[in-house]
């Protein structure tokens, strides 16, 4: 039948006009169960009610037609393998409505689900299996049947074979029978392990500026070794770690060459140059500004050059202004694929409340990535400084051998809610002139735990420890000593207000330090959190902090965090609780990222 042009145009226009008021009803055999909630959450028809713009009849019809498969899929996943589903638009079954002829208007979507009995697994098997393969516990006779369990079991079987070198292992067949009289689901899944393969060539495509030989060095793909998916992922991680590429994809060739499997790369280079800036503000320290310029691929081998500068204390009351300029060069995969070379040069001028220092530092060393979470460094350096403190003027020259270890098991670097972080830095130093030989230790540990509905609350705990051994308090390098107070140690206390008080009444840094901080963070909305914190600090003159010759102080307060998506903006207000007198009252701290 042919419609006159005018009538056809009218029908088309009406199909795209918005529905005035849509009512979506879902009826099940168990209306008060979590299944009813899951059905509503899965239904595209119900989802139309959450849209800001009104749905058209065409939208409603398309959503309802898609709901048949979506709801059946959910029911199968919950173990209901004999459901009956009816979806009607104003009393008309959706399955009988042509997609090209939607109704002119829709008032009610009625979804009726008769889920029937819930099935259990009967006879289930997955063969053959690689040695050591662990299948899901629910893939067993008597467990609740579920299509997701079948998928998980098949995936575990394939993964087991891939882990022992069978890169092309796949599900080759399946027989699934629902025995409705017994309420049981039988499943026979069959795997084809395929041949055991070795890594072949790394086939490189995409980069324009990066040299292929350096890509191979950095990736560290063990060509000739038995295929291992962990090695493949590790090679991709090494390439991403350079920062040279915005996209890194390593994929297996479709077909092996005999027992050799080539690996294809898809690499997209990021812009080689980058710059950025930052700012922090506190009531006493004033404004701090920082900026950097970075080149990610200086000579075509992922060499990284970073130049950064920082000015602190602008308009502050804690001494004068501090200046720092640092140049850092890094070259990945210098000694092997997981060992980088680095070199640093730094010039700084500090005007702190209790000392001033003009310093130059040179350092070169290696950085070893033991795993994705563990990193070690070792270097050799030279440092020279001219300083002034309560003991008078000092000029020193030292050789250093800095070494460090960092364990980062946080779930998010800028806004951690679970996991832990630990860093230890040990710096032996050899006196050339002006001081005495010794060693400086600094350790920083943090733990995060979330609890409550949807992990609404997060408890964060931080501990810091510092020690300088070897030179006396008077002879120790001034910038190696420790102070407490202000952001990073004890919020609410004046910046660097706690040190070692001399008989003259002047204050110098201590050879030992302890810092403890606790926070409870509570989400009030998706983006906003309220934080309560308590900080405690200790500084003493002894070589290792034992509480024998130092003082404690503390501070507490409240803060808010606004999550920008890339990290929270932080505002803290702290008050002094205990410690030396003559504090200036409350302190305000503004920055990006959590306090720790």
Q: 212-219 and 229-241 helices cross at what angle (nearest 10)?
A: 120
| Integer Cα distance of 263 and 199 in angstroms | 7
Cis, peptide link before residue 509, omega less than 30° from 0: no
| Integer Cα distance of 78 and 148 in angstroms | 9
Please name the residue that has the structure tokens 């662990």. 134
For 453-499, the pLDDT digits (tens) are 889 999 999 999 999 999 999 999 998 999 999 989 999 998 889 99
Confidence of residue 582 (pLDDT cuts 50, 70, 90): low
For residue 286, the model assigns a pLDDT of: 80
- Does domain 341-592 bear CATH number 2.40.50.100? no
317: pLDDT strictly greater than 80: no
For residue 18, the model assigns a pLDDT of: 53
Neighbours of 396 (CB within 10 A): 24
Confidence of residue 271 (pLDDT cuts 50, 70, 90): very high
For residue 10, the model assigns a pLDDT of: 41
DSSP symbols for 93-137: EGGGS-TTS--S---EEEEEEE--PPPEEEEEEEES--TT----T
Pairing of strands 403-408, 392-400: unpaired
User: Which residues lie closer than 8 Å to 357 by C-beta, 6 or more apart?
Assistant: 348, 349, 350, 385, 386, 387, 388, 478, 479
- Is residue 80 a contact partner of residue 119, using CB atoms and an 8 Å limit? yes
Paired tokens of 121 = 């697994």
6: pLDDT strictly greater than 90: no
Mean pLDDT of 48-69: 91
Round to the nearest angstrom and report the end-to-end CA distance of the chain.
72
449: pLDDT strictly greater than 60: yes
Write the CA distances from 381 to 10, 110, 397, integer angstroms.
82, 75, 11
5: pLDDT strictly greater than 70: no
| Integer Cα distance of 553 and 495 in angstroms | 12
Confidence of residue 239 (pLDDT cuts 50, 70, 90): very high
Please name the residue that has the structure tokens 């308009």. 315
Q: Say if residue 420 is exposed, middle or buried (CB neighbours under 10 Å; 0-12, 13-18, 19+).
A: middle
Backbone dihedral region for residue 39 (phi beyond 0: left; psi -120 to 50: alpha; all else: beta): alpha
Q: Where are the alpha helices (DSSP H) in 457-519?
A: none
More confident residue, 6 or 543: 543
Confidence of residue 353 (pLDDT cuts 50, 70, 90): confident
| Integer Cα distance of 315 and 361 in angstroms | 27
DSSP, collapsed to helix, strand or coil, labels residue 495 as: coil
Architecture of domain 198-269: Roll (3.10)
DSSP, collapsed to helix, strand or coil, labels residue 535 as: strand
Q: Considering only CA atoms, which of 29, 31, 14, 167 is closest in space to residue 101?
A: 14
For 221-237, the pLDDT digits (tens) are 999 999 999 999 999 99
For residue 263, the model assigns a pLDDT of: 98
Tally of residues, the chain: 596
| Integer Cα distance of 543 and 549 in angstroms | 10
| Integer Cα distance of 173 and 176 in angstroms | 10
Confidence of residue 8 (pLDDT cuts 50, 70, 90): very low
Mean pLDDT of all residues belonging to the chain: 92
- Is residue 580 a contact partner of residue 497, using CB atoms and an 8 Å limit? yes
Q: Considering only CA atoms, which of 382, 239, 379, 237 is closest in space to residue 297?
A: 239
243: pLDDT strictly greater than 50: yes
| Integer Cα distance of 228 and 198 in angstroms | 9
Lowest mean pLDDT across 54-63, 243-252, 362-371, 424-433: 54-63
2: pLDDT strictly greater than 90: no
120-192 has which fold?
Ubiquitin-like (UB roll) (3.10.20)
Element (H, E) at 40: helix 34-42
For residue 33, the model assigns a pLDDT of: 80
For residue 543, the model assigns a pLDDT of: 93
User: Which residues lie closer than 8 Å to 289 by C-beta, 6 or more apart?
Assistant: 277, 278, 279, 310, 311, 312, 314
| Integer Cα distance of 494 and 312 in angstroms | 16
- Is residue 543 a contact partner of residue 468, using CB atoms and an 8 Å limit? yes
| Integer Cα distance of 269 and 41 in angstroms | 40
| Integer Cα distance of 544 and 110 in angstroms | 74
Lowest mean pLDDT across 325-329, 334-338, 564-568, 573-577: 564-568
| Integer Cα distance of 226 and 547 in angstroms | 56
CA angle 154, 158, 160 (to 5 degrees): 115
b (16+ CB within 10 A) / e for 263-300: bebebebeebeeeeeeebbbbbbbbbeeebebebbeee
For residue 15, the model assigns a pLDDT of: 45
Mean pLDDT of 177-196: 97
Mean pLDDT of 176-190: 96
| Integer Cα distance of 449 and 416 in angstroms | 9
User: Which residues lie closer than 8 Å to 565 by C-beta, 6 or more apart?
Assistant: none
pLDDT above 90: percentage of residues in the chain: 80
Confidence of residue 583 (pLDDT cuts 50, 70, 90): low
Query: Which residues are paired to 587 by β-bridges?
Result: 574
For 380-424, the pLDDT digits (tens) are 999 999 999 999 999 999 999 999 999 999 999 889 999 999 999
Q: Say if residue 453 is exposed, middle or buried (CB neighbours under 10 Å; 0-12, 13-18, 19+).
A: exposed
For 62-100, the pLDDT digits (tens) are 999 999 999 999 999 999 999 999 999 999 999 999 988
For 99-149, the pLDDT digits (tens) are 888 888 899 999 999 999 999 999 999 999 999 999 999 999 999 999 999
Cα 476 to the chain's mean position, in Å?
39
Cα 351 to the chain's mean position, in Å?
36
369: pLDDT strictly greater than 70: yes
14: pLDDT strictly greater than 90: no
Largest Cα span, the chain: 107
| Integer Cα distance of 512 and 440 in angstroms | 10
Query: Which residues are paired to 377 by β-bridges?
Result: 367, 404
425: pLDDT strictly greater than 90: yes
| Integer Cα distance of 417 and 412 in angstroms | 7
Read off φ and ψ for residue 150, nearest 5 degrees: -65, -45
For residue 315, the model assigns a pLDDT of: 80
Count Cα neighbours of 68 within 13 Å in the Cβ-side half-sphere.
Answer: 11
For residue 594, the model assigns a pLDDT of: 92
For residue 584, the model assigns a pLDDT of: 63
510: pLDDT strictly greater than 70: yes
Element (H, E) at 571: strand 568-578
pLDDT above 70: percentage of residues in the chain: 95
For residue 3, the model assigns a pLDDT of: 43
């Amino acid at each position: 039948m042919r419609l006159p042009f005018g009538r056809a145009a009218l029908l088309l226009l009406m199909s795209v006009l918005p529905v005035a008021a849509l009512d979506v009803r879902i009826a099940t055999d168990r209306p008060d169960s979590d299944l009813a909630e899951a059905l509503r959450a899965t239904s595209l028809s119900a989802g139309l009610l959450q849209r800001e713009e009104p749905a058209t009849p065409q939208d409603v019809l398309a959503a309802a037609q898609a709901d048949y498969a979506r709801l059946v899929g959910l029911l199968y996943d919950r173990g209901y393998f004999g459901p009956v589903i009816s979806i009607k638009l104003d009393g008309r079954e959706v399955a009988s409505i042509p997609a090209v002829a939607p109704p002119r208007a829709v008032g009610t979507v009625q979804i009726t689900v008769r889920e029937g009995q819930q099935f259990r697994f009967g006879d289930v098997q997955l063969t053959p299996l690689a040695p050591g393969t662990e299948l899901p516990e629910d893939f067993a006779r008597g467990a609740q049947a579920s299509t997701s369990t079948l998928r998980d079991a098949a995936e575990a079987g394939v993964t087991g074979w891939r882990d022992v070198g069978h890169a092309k292992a796949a599900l080759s067949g399946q027989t699934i029978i629902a025995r409705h009289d017994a309420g049981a689901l039988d499943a026979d899944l069959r795997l084809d392990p395929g041949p055991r393969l070795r890594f072949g060539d790394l086939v490189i495509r995409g980069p324009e500026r990066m040299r292929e030989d350096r890509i191979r060095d950095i990736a560290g793909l063990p060509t000739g070794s038995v295929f291992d998916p962990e090695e493949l992922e590790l090679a991709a991680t090494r390439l991403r770690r350079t920062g040279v590429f915005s996209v890194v994809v390593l994929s297996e060739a479709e077909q092996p060459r005999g027992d050799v499997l080539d690996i294809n790369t898809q690499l997209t280079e990021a812009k080689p140059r980058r710059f950025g800036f930052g700012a922090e503000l506190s009531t006493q320290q004033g404004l701090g500004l920082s900026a950097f310029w970075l080149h990610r691929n200086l000579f075509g081998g992922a060499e990284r050059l970073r130049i950064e500068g920082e000015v602190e204390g602008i308009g502050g009351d804690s001494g004068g202004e501090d200046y720092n300029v640092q140049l850092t060069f890094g070259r990945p995969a210098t000694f092997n694929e997981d060992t980088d070379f680095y070199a640093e040069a730094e010039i700084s001028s500090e005007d702190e409340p209790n000392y001033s220092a003009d310093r130059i530092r040179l350092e070169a060393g290696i950085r070893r990535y033991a795993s994705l979470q563990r990193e070690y460094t070792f270097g050799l350096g030279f440092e020279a400084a001219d300083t002034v403190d309560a003991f008078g003027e000092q000029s020193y020259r030292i050789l250093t051998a800095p070494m460090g270890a960092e364990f980062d098991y946080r779930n998010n670097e800028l806004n951690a809610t679970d996991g832990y972080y630990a860093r230890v830095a040990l710096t032996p130093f050899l006196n050339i002139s002006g001081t005495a030989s010794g060693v400086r230790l600094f350790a920083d540990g943090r733990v995060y735990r979330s609890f409550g509905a949807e992990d609404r609350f997060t408890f964060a705990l931080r501990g810091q420890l510092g020690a300088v051994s070897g030179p006396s308090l008077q002879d120790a390098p001034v910038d190696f000593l420790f102070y407490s107070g202000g952001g990073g140690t004890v919020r609410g206390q004046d910046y660097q207000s706690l040190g070692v008080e001399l008989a003259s009444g002047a204050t110098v840094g201590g050879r030992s330090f302890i810092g403890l901080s606790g926070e409870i963070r509570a989400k009030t909305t998706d983006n906003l959190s309220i934080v309560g914190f308590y900080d405690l600090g200790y500084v003493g003159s002894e070589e290792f902090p034992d509480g024998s010759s130092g003082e404690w102080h503390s501070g507490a307060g409240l803060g808010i965090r606004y999550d920008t998506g890339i990290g929270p903006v932080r505002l803290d207000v702290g008050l002094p609780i205990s410690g030396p007198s003559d504090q200036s009252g409350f302190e305000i701290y503004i920055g990006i990222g959590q306090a720790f």
